[in-house]
Structure 1
Amino acid sequence: MKTSFKVACVQAAPAFLDLERGIEKTIALMECASENGAKLIAFPETWLPGYPWFLWLDSPAANMPLVYRYHQESLVLGSEQAELISKAAARLGLYVVLGYSERDKGSLYIGQWLINDHGETIGVRRKLKATHVERTLFGESDGSSLTTYDTPLGTLGALCCWEHLQPLSKYSLFAQHEEIHIGAWPSFSLYKGAANALGAEVNTAISRTYAVEGQCFVIAPCALVSQEMLDLLCTDEKKSALLDIGGGQARIYGPDGSDIASPLGENEEGLLYAELDPVALIFAKMAADPVGHYSRPDVTQLLLDRRSRKPMLTIDQPKVREEVDELCDTSVDDKSASLNLGEK
């Protein structure tokens, strides 16, 4: 980072299971952020088409109709819908880090799409491993999703939700000198009073700790559960007892772990704003740089494999094929031809 700039952090309810309406709301929030002087806006986990809370409320078999709808309303990169968002980023001169469910042929992935102020893709990542029941719907990524991106704003990195509980994944981004981290979350309104690890107190502490550990700014967007979502998902008293309305806990933290934006109420929609000052990074690193003067690589080191893994590799060797055909056409004795072919 070279200069200070303003960022926007989303706390809002998604247009659940409605991709077209969700894109309209996305662009409206982008416009609001731009009008208020922000240079970057960050959206919650699976903002499009909303977090699939039904996974936590019923069995996989009972959820199949909603699973089908979720597939249909998930975003395909390179589609006309995706183009609307990138064009809006270019029109507004705004960096965007968008949480979304990515549909890639027959599979879904929890994704984060990083777009620059010219509407160009600077990075696409997928959640390294979906959490708990999420694995009944989403696939997983590989080491290519643990990377940072150098931009004129600074070095950006991103993770989703409980990826922030994976110490080695966090350290891989610290070691790439991440300056601005986007930690995307759904709402914190599930299993209240029954599962403390899923609640706001624990998970906002995780975001704050990330800022202190990595001495970086942390923008932590968070969604809300709307009444519309409850009406659709909570079809009986048992389900209604498991999921509540609201749950918004968006935060922006400085590299010393301080709140640098005033939080909204947990049921309140809006944008948090903060000015990111690079001076704060220097002061924090002077105290404890985890990959510099405060590291001990002679004692512990991290091995990171960032290769992208594909399910099929195709090897074409047209030059070898031509050489074989040429050998077969030459007028030589069988013994000589066999020898030359073997060498090739």
Structure 2
Amino acid sequence: MQLRYPNRISSTTKIKGKKTPSKTHPKFIVAAAQAAPILMDLDGTIDKTIALMKQAADQGAKLVTFPETWIPGYPWWIWITNPAMGMQHVQRYFNNSMEVDSPEFKRLAKAANNLNIWLSFGFSERDGGSLYISQALIDDEGQVVLSRRKLKPTHVERTVFGDGDGSDLKVCETAIGNVGMLNCWEHLQPLSKYAMYSQHEHIHIAAWPSFSLYRGAAHALGAEVNNNASQIYAVEGGCFVLAPCGVVDQAMQDILCTEDAQRQMLQLGGGAARIYGPDGRQLGNIIPELEEGIVIAEIDLGLISLAKSITDPVGHYARPDATQLILNRERRVPVSSKLAKPVAASVISESAEAIENEVV
């Protein structure tokens, strides 16, 4: 399977052969998953993903979205123990992470095609010997529209994952609208958000891992402030925000927590999937935090024009004369190869003659 566009390319793109959403029929159903992955079980989590995709498709959803590092689950041990103790999980987590264009990746693409549904999911991306917090967007024909990486893993996530770069701040112009994606606390980075707003998102996918960590001790890790981040993104960007969210289940806690103190830090539940409109309104159903399911809502892209008429942060409400953002979209690579230029035979002959004359 080939990426419809090269991985992490730098500019807003259109999907060839597709039309942008009809101006007269911009309404359709979208879904945000709230569920627990089968931790560090690549095939098992893919099976569960496809089952949830079918559930969303059966309810008429045109797009279904999944949490941050949904595959093969979020590495919660980095928050509840020290790096030395966490090393016991490293090899298993690496082995169950997923490469782009792998057979497992193609399974998900095929399911999207079979179910005629667009799919966005977070995954631990394996690339060589490194891991990245990544997101993929696949269309209803099973074609990969975008694969992107979190620019900067948050705090202790840096012990597991590498960085993305400016090419990962990308919005794609597709048949269902302009779609962009960010992970978790990328929504607390004002400049990254502004880079996304500048590409005129219609649908933004804000993927979160779960809100069950350090309850009452560190409010910034809880559901309230992070859901507020998704909500304010919708208002600032004048777009619809789908915020899928993971759940910590008993099986996950049993694998990771060997002490009561760890169970107090990583508690069960934490699910808080939401969908927001461009005016900040919460849309669709609410699922209790300990339960799994799909948040379903109908969105109307026509409402974006109403929101943007009041405030467009990169249009009529901007002041580029006072403040501007510089976005470096160049993909960062550790090695750049250059081929030696062929030397003309005449040049070689002249050089040899010059050396001979010098010797004489």
Bin of the TM-score, shorter chain as denominator length: over 0.9
Among 200, 204, 222, the residue aligned to 1:177: 200
CA drift of 1:263 comes to 1.3
The one-character-per-residue Cα deviations of 1:46-89 (angstroms, maximum 9, x if unpaired) are: 00000110000111111111011110110111111111011111
Aligned to 1:138: 161
Distance in structure 2 (CA, Å) of the matches to 1:331 and 1:238: 76
1:328 is matched with 348
- DSSP 3-state at the match of 1:51: coil
TM superposition shift of 1:206: 0.7
| Stretch moving more, 88-97 or 99-108 | 88-97
Spell out the pairing of 1:36-47 with structure 2 (5 A cutoff): 36-47=59-70
Q: Of the candidates 148, 151, 164, which is equivalent to residue 187 of structure 2?
A: 164
How many angstroms apart in 2 are the aligned matches of 1:76 and 1:120? 16
Which of 279, 291, 303 in structure 1 is aligned with 2:326?
303
Match among 82, 86, 102 for residue 59 of structure 1: 82
- SS in structure 1 of the partner of residue 289 of structure 2: coil
Match of 1:121 among 144, 155, 160: 144
Distance 1:301 1:238, change over 3 A: same
| TM-score normalised by length of structure 2 | 0.90
**Distance between the aligned counterparts of 1:237 and 1:312, measured in 2?**
46
Uncovered stretches (5+) of structure 2, i.e. residues with no partner = 1-20
Q: Secondary structure, in 3 states, of the residue corresponding to 2:283?
A: coil
Superposed CA offset, 1:235-279 (max 9, x none): 011111111100000000000000111211111110011111022
1:151 matches 2:181: no
Q: Identity, % of aligned pairs?
A: 51
- Secondary structure (helix, strand or coil) at the match of 2:271 reads coil
Q: C-alpha deviations, 1:159-190, integer Å up to 9, x for none?
A: 00000000000000101101100000011010
Amino acid at match of 1:265: P
Q: Distance in 1 between matches of 2:197 and 2:351?
A: 64
Aligned twin of 2:272 = 249
State the shift of 1:328 in Å. 2.4
Give the SS at the match of 2:265. coil
Residue 337 of structure 2 is matched in structure 1 by 314
Does the 8 Å CA contact 1:5/1:275 hold for their aligned counterparts?
Answer: yes
**SS at 1:333 equivalent:** helix
Superposition map of 1:180-329 within 5 A = 180-317=203-340, 320-323=341-344, 325-329=345-349
Contact kept, 8 Å, 1:74 with 1:102, in 2: the verdict is yes
Matches of 1:107 and 1:333 in 2, distance apart? 52
Length-normalised TM-score, structure 1: 0.94
In the alignment, structure 1 residue 32 sits paired with structure 2 residue 55 = yes
Partner SS, residue 94 of structure 2: helix
SS of structure 1 residue aligned to 2:148: strand
Q: 1-side partners of 2:125 and 2:346: how far apart?
A: 48
1:237–1:334 Cα change, 3 Å: same
Mapped partners of 2:199, 2:357: distance in 1: 55
Q: Number of residues paired by the alignment?
A: 335
1:210-248 per-residue CA deviation (whole Å, 9 max, x = no partner) reads 101111000000000000011111101111111110000
Whether the aligned pair in 2 keeps the contact of 1:328 and 1:337 (CA below 8 Å) is no
Instruction: Indicate conservation of the 8 Å contact 1:127/1:163, yes or no.
Output: yes
Which residue in 1 is equivalent to 2:31?
8
Distance change (3 Å), C-alpha of 1:322 and 1:249: same
Q: Which has the higher contact order (CA 8 A, sep 6+)?
A: 2
- 1:18 corresponds in structure 2 to 41
